[in-house]
Amino acid sequence: MTDHRPAGVGTERLELVLWDEPTVSAIRAGAQLSGWHDDFPREDDRGAATLWRDGDPWGPRSIVSRKQRLVIGSIGFFGPPEPAADDVPEVEVGYGLVAAARGYGLATEALSALLTRADAAGVRVRASIAPDNAASLRVAAKTGFTGIRGSTEEGELVLVRPRRRPARG
């Protein structure tokens, strides 16, 4: 059986590197490691560190610019997929970039790459986005989040990307 878990994810401009214990420890401690943008980690990155479990391929990752060889943000699922109310496996995704990296299509590129892995595993994906976060809402729309499932207690919109079947070929 082929293992479709989202390990080793990359694009032309980015590498999505699964966090390890030293990375998470530095983020939790507010430390700055070599190869990190001056504005990384952001508050959302520190939040993602609370979701990290050693060896979980569905966990948080660094978004690394291949050109600059620099961590410019984070992306990842909030743990492994679990059956939703309709028994379809589902997982939540989060993503974000340092301000200097925004506006170049990098979040869309990173999210598209990670979603390809979710598609291969037959998993539906959801994202919770603040209604005033126009940039993130655009990224979600560009990557196929078409459904709205309501909102969170914090007022974020819960967007859903339908499960997609991987292309056969």
Residue 136's domain spans which residues? 9-161
Reported as a single tens digit per residue, the pLDDT across 48-102 is 999 999 989 999 999 999 999 999 999 999 999 999 999 999 999 999 999 999 9
CA 90 to centroid of chain Cα atoms:
14
**Mean pLDDT within 105-109:** 98
Residue 168 lies in a domain: no
Cis omega (within 30 of 0) on the bond before 89?
no
Residue 133 lies in a domain: yes
- How sure is the predictor about 168, in pLDDT bands with cuts at 50, 70 and 90? low
Residue 123: pLDDT above 80? yes
Residue 131 lies in a domain: yes
Residue 167 lies in a domain: no
Q: 50: domain CATH number?
A: 3.40.630.30
Residue 73 lies in a domain: yes
Residue 57 lies in a domain: yes
Structure tokens at 8: 């080793």
Per-residue pLDDT, 1: 32
Compute the C-alpha angle 40/71/47, nearest 5°: 45
- How sure is the predictor about 158, in pLDDT bands with cuts at 50, 70 and 90? very high
> Cβ-count burial of 45 within 10 angstroms (0-12 exposed, 13-18 middle, 19+ buried)?
buried
Contacts with 131 (C-beta within 8 Å, 6 or more apart), sequence order: 137, 155, 156, 157
**Mean pLDDT within 143-154:** 94
Residue 3 lies in a domain: no
- How sure is the predictor about 148, in pLDDT bands with cuts at 50, 70 and 90? very high
Number of domains into which the chain is organized = 1
Q: What is the mean pLDDT of the chain?
A: 92
Residue 2 lies in a domain: no
